[in-house]
């Protein structure tokens, strides 16, 4: 995978309606599982390999330094409010490891 920046955002009209899905986090599909059908739809022969690697980006493979979130601190607060300790630990680990940063860090990071 090529290094890149990924910015994810929600429109103002739907931002307050977003809710984390309920259920067991361990049964949630990975990003590779969720997007595999779309990635292979036009016959991309490497879709299966991409799907296997996609989940590793956030945890750090060296392919991508980090991802930037437009409302990181609000996300952290929302995750803490779910009382899902494993999700809180994972998110804090990504932040402490500088794998997930606030979008406000982006301009300085681009200058370095």
48 plus 73 within the same structural domain? no
pTM: 0.47
Average pLDDT over residues 23-27: 63
Residue 12 included in any domain: no
Residue 101 has pLDDT above 70, yes or no: yes
SS3 6: coil
Residue 9 included in any domain: no
CA 47 to chain centre: 19
Residue 55 included in any domain: yes
Residue 91 included in any domain: yes
Q: Which of 63, 79, 59 is nearest to 71 (CA)?
A: 79
Place 1 in a pLDDT band, splitting at 50, 70 and 90.
very low
Identify the domain containing residue 79 by its residue range: 66-112
Residue 112 included in any domain: yes
């Amino acid at each position: 995978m090529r290094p890149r920046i990924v910015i994810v955002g929600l429109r103002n009209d739907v931002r307050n309606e977003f809710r984390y899905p309920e259920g067991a986090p361990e049964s949630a599909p990975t990003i590779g599982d969720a997007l595999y059908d779309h990635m292979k739809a036009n016959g991309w022969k490497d879709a299966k390999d991409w799907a296997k690697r996609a989940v590793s980006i956030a945890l750090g493979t060296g392919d991508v330094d980090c991802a930037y979130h437009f409302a990181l601190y609000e996300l952290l607060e929302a995750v803490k409010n779910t009382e899902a300790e494993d999700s809180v630990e994972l998110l804090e680990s990504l932040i402490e490891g500088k794998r997930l940063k606030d979008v406000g860090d982006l301009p300085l990071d681009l200058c370095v």
